[in-house]
């Protein structure tokens, strides 16, 4: 089986206060590039092979497959990640890798794909439902987060944690799902910090819950401005509220403060120049994505920033408005795909 999909980029988590009885929620979208591709080949035991990016998820993928194999009494298989997503960069690589491989294994095992079951088995969707839902839909998506448990008020910090520490939860419901307009998306990889593990957990513990008023401002901006501008393909309004989330929303400002001097310099320079119409940092970064009507000028500017060691790489991509694709492909004895 071959599975191919895009990556997830985050606009923002929505409610990290929780006083309304729900928490989390995310606005996100799927990008075509970087993309993810993996093969599942019948084998004698569970095996794993990957490129450099995919290797970061070896243990998580093998744990998931072992769990699914036991749940479904499925066959052993070899996973070959041909195109892995850059880890700890803002592309949702951990969840996307696990859920995509799990979906391909379901088909290999002759099972009906149940995305919620796979995400829970992978220990994902406990904070954000972005990657599991985008794999099934593509496009632009807003999910509704999670209902708080009865004891949430006693210790909110216990439940306001990054996805990998939240465990496998009920997948958040999709509130808005719509194709993203065909605007070029400039992916920018600054020389920044990779926020994950204990550093990310400590950041959440120190920063959350955010003030209730800030959660309301973010929720209003996502529903009435960001999502509406996407649905209406209103480029100017979209860029305006993208910048609101980047430069004025409470939690995103705290995330940016944790990033490198290069990331902060990039974002500050955008405000002083006219090559970029709107920019955002995905999750904790360092990956940023931008929108421009002056692509040549934007590229010239970014080339200068690369010479200054501010930016490591950049390229143009676009939204992926289709679900993950899974298909059968012939494989030779040596493991070479004939495609």
Nearest-10 Cα torsion for 274, 227, 206, 260 = -30
Cβ atoms within 10 Å of 261's Cβ, excluding its own: 11
Structure tokens at 262: 């290069």
pLDDT of amino acid 125: 83
Q: Residues 144-181: pLDDT tens digits?
A: 999 999 999 999 999 999 988 887 778 999 999 999 99
Averaged pLDDT score across all residues of the chain: 95
Could you name the CATH architecture of 2-327? 2-Layer Sandwich (3.30)
Provide the whole-model pTM.
0.95
Q: Residues 219-236: pLDDT tens digits?
A: 999 999 999 999 999 999
Q: Answer whether 30's CB lies under 8 Å from 138's CB.
A: yes
- Of 144, 118, 135, 143, residue with least CA distance to 20: 144
Q: Residues 265-297: pLDDT tens digits?
A: 999 999 999 999 999 999 999 999 999 999 999
User: Average pLDDT in the 316-320 region?
Assistant: 99
Domain limits, the chain: 2-327
Q: How far apart are CA 55 and CA 52, in angstroms?
A: 5
Burial of residue 42 (number of CB atoms within 10 Å: 0-12, 13-18, 19+): exposed
User: Average pLDDT in the 173-196 region?
Assistant: 97
């Amino acid at each position: 089986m071959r599975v191919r999909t895009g990556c997830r980029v985050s606009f923002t988590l929505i409610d990290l206060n929780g006083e309304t009885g729900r928490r989390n929620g995310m606005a996100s979208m799927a990008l075509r590039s970087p993309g993810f591709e993996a093969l599942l080949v019948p084998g004698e035991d569970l095996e794993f092979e990957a490129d450099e990016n995919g290797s970061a998820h070896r243990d998580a993928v093998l744990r998931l497959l072992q769990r699914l194999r036991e749940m479904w009494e499925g066959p052993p298989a070899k996973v070959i990640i041909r195109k892995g997503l850059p880890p700890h960069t803002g592309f949702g690589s951990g969840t996307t890798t696990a859920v995509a491989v799990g979906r391909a294994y379901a088909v290999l095992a002759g099972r009906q794909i149940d995305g919620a079951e796979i995400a829970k088995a992978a220990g994902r969707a406990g904070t954000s439902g972005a990657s599991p839902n985008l794999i099934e839909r593509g496009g632009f998506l807003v999910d509704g987060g999670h209902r708080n448990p009865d004891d949430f008020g006693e210790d909110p910090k216990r439940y306001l944690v990054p996805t990998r520490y939240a465990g496998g939860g009920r997948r958040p419901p999709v509130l808005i799902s719509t194709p993203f307009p065909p605007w070029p998306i400039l992916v920018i990889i600054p020389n920044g910090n990779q926020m994950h593990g204990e550093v990310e957990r400590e950041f959440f513990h120190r920063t959350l819950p955010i003030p209730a008023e800030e959660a309301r401002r973010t929720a209003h901006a996502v529903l009435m401005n960001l999502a509406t501008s996407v649905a209406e393909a209103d480029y100017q309004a979209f860029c305006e509220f993208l910048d609101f989330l980047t430069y004025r929303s409470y939690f995103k400002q705290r995330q940016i403060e944790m990033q490198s001097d290069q990331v902060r310099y990039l974002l500050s320079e955008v405000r002083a120049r006219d090559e970029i119409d709107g920019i955002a940092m995905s999750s904790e970064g360092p990956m940023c994505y931008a929108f421009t009507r002056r692509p040549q000028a934007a590229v010239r500017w970014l080339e200068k920033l690369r010479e200054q060691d501010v930016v490591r790489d950049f390229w143009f991509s676009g939204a992926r408005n289709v679900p993950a694709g899974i298909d059968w492909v012939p494989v030779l004895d040596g493991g070479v795909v004939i495609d």
